Amino acid sequence: MRHSERHRTHRVGWLRAAVLGANDGIVSTASLIVGVAAADATRSSVLVAGLAGLVAGAMSMAAGEYVSVSSQSDTEGADLERERQELATDADNEHSELAAIYVTRGLEPDLAKQVATQLTAKDALGAHARDELGISDTLSARPVQAAFASAGSFTIGAVLPLLLVFFVPRAALTWAVSGSSLLFLALLGAVAAHAGGSSIGKSVIRVTFWGALAMALTAAVGALFGTTL
């Protein structure tokens, strides 16, 4: 009977971008709303600031993820092209290099050579990409996927505190947005930890601490400058 194990490494690319986007959406939008509200701005001003922050943040996240992951993808592509050329011009040395990698991982030299020979015969570039360069289909850079995941999750995260502006009385807006955003962050941390198979408690504490700090500092700035400008 075949035993099927459930691993989560295939989620690394989109999960990182999605969690980062949602966390930034909640923290930055909630902080912006809290900061503007603490400066005694009108509800319409708070709403405009929140909407502007949502659009600007989503586009910034998409652009930032696309550019950074594209750089990673370009580097991977350059390494693969270099490896392809070396396989074409110096196959024997590349075979020895691959066998040496397997020896360092615990195989006997003769067995390492056999493994290298068989993997090279099946997919030489794939074997070197995986075992020499650490590049695989699961963990390879995907710029478009990362950009959409990050922008989409940022928007979802930003909408949560922004909706409160419509329904919460102006006098209670600061505390309502702060409290609910911490709850949203805790839920995000729990979901992300569950999806990644890590500690839920540690994840929840981490995201709520930094979210609370960001909102507290922004509220302080709004209260300070709102009374002096």
pLDDT exceeds cutoff 60 at 184 = yes
Among residues 192, 197, 79, the alpha carbon closest in space to that of 140 is found at 79
Q: What is the DSSP string of 151-166?
A: HHHHHHHHHHHHHHHH
State residue 159's pLDDT score.
92
pLDDT exceeds cutoff 50 at 208 = yes
Q: Is the Cβ–Cβ distance between 135 and 80 less than 8 Å? A: yes
pLDDT exceeds cutoff 60 at 93 = yes
Q: Based on the number of CB atoms within 10 Å of its own CB, is 168 exposed (0-12), middle (13-18) or buried (19 or more)?
A: middle
Chain center to CA of 194: 15
Residues 118 and 124: their CA atoms lie apart, in Å, by 9
**Dihedrals φ, ψ of 42, to 5°?**
-75, 165
- What's the predicted TM-score (pTM) here? 0.68
State residue 62's pLDDT score.
87
Q: Is the Cβ–Cβ distance between 193 and 203 less than 8 Å? A: yes
Residues 27 and 193: their CA atoms lie apart, in Å, by 18
Cβ atoms < 10 Å from Cβ of 105 = 10
Q: What is the DSSP string of 86-124?
A: HHHH-HHHHHHHHHHHHHHTT--HHHHHHHHHHHHHHHH
pLDDT exceeds cutoff 90 at 82 = no
pLDDT exceeds cutoff 90 at 55 = yes
- In the predicted model, what is the mean pLDDT of residues 69-97? 85
Identify the DSSP state of 171: G
Per residue in 99-148, pLDDT (tens digit) is 898 898 888 889 988 988 888 888 888 888 887 777 766 556 678 887 88
